[in-house]
Every structure is written in C-alpha cells, then in structure tokens.
Amino acid sequence: MRQVHVIVSGRVQGVGFRAFTQQVAVETDVMGWVENRDDGSVEIKAQGEDNKVDAFLMQVRKGPSFFAKVKNIEITEEDVETAFQKFEIKY
C-alpha cells in the first residue's frame, strides 16, 4: 500500500476539480480525500496499490476539463498509518 500527499495549484477551485478527483479515485480504486485550501490550491491524500496511485496521479495532473488548469503538482510519499475506507470530498 502506498500513500501520497498532493498539493495541486493553478486554476483548480470553482471548476469541478474536487468532484473530478473523487471520480478518478473511484475509477482507479484509490481511497483518501480532497479539499480546497485557503490559498487557492487543492490538497489530496490518496492511498492504494502502486499502479493504481500512479494512474490516479496521471489523471489529476491533467485535470477535469479546459476550465481547470493544473500549473503545479507537489507529491510527497507518506507512511500509511490508517487505511482510508473511501474517497471523500472535504468541505
């Protein structure tokens, strides 16, 4: 099991990015959460099998549509302390 902490910056708020991220997580069988941050970026915690996390991150880099524009993505590998049971949008 692999866990990553991700910060996505660019035009990623108000463009359906969190819903897109949750949809991609469900499709790739990745668990965790996504949340908007006060600085305009989006924060993600995601965990799953290596190849599934890689597939998830590849889609997150692209973003949901032409409305969103991912400028930067910071990925930090983390130790898995607790297994997430689903992928949720935090408000």
Q: Mind telling me the catalytic residues?
A: 18, 36
CA distances from 74 to 31, 79, 81 (A): 18, 17, 21
CB 46 within 8 A of CB 4: yes
Instruction: Read off φ and ψ for residue 50, nearest 5 degrees.
Output: -50, -55
